[in-house]
């Protein structure tokens, strides 16, 4: 499987799994929304670190962890539509 296609599949799968685990009920408060975003980001972050380490073993763990963290945080931020709430 291609590296980019794998990242897309892992991202979509992770978002669906974390929605089933943490977000299937209606979340109202900002604290609950933030905690859901944090859990989703951590779940996707770990999955992407494992995928990058598997596909590109020559990349250092610190670089793959940093890129995976930024990508997972942005992907979950866009998914939760907090982008529209930013000033």
Domain boundaries, the chain: 3-82
User: Is pLDDT at 40 greater than 70 in this prediction?
Assistant: yes
Mean pLDDT of 45-68: 93
Looking at residue 43, its pLDDT comes to 94
Looking at residue 41, its pLDDT comes to 92
Helix (H, G, I), strand (E, B) or coil at 6: helix
Looking at residue 85, its pLDDT comes to 62
Confidence bin at 35 (pLDDT 50/70/90): confident
Is this structure's pTM higher than 0.85? no
Whole-Å CA distances, 83 to 41, 55, 76: 15, 31, 10
Token couple for 84: 């529209």
Helix (H, G, I), strand (E, B) or coil at 2: coil
């Amino acid at each position: 499987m291609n590296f980019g296609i794998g990242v897309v599949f892992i991202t979509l799968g992770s978002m669906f799994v974390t929605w089933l685990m943490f977000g299937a009920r209606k979340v109202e408060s900002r604290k609950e929304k933030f905690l859901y975003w944090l859990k989703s980001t951590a779940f996707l972050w770990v999955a992407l670190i494992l995928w990058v380490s598997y596909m590109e073993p020559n990349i250092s763990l610190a670089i793959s962890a940093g890129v995976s963290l930024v990508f997972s945080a942005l992907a979950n931020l866009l998914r939760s539509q907090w982008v529209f709430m930013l000033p």
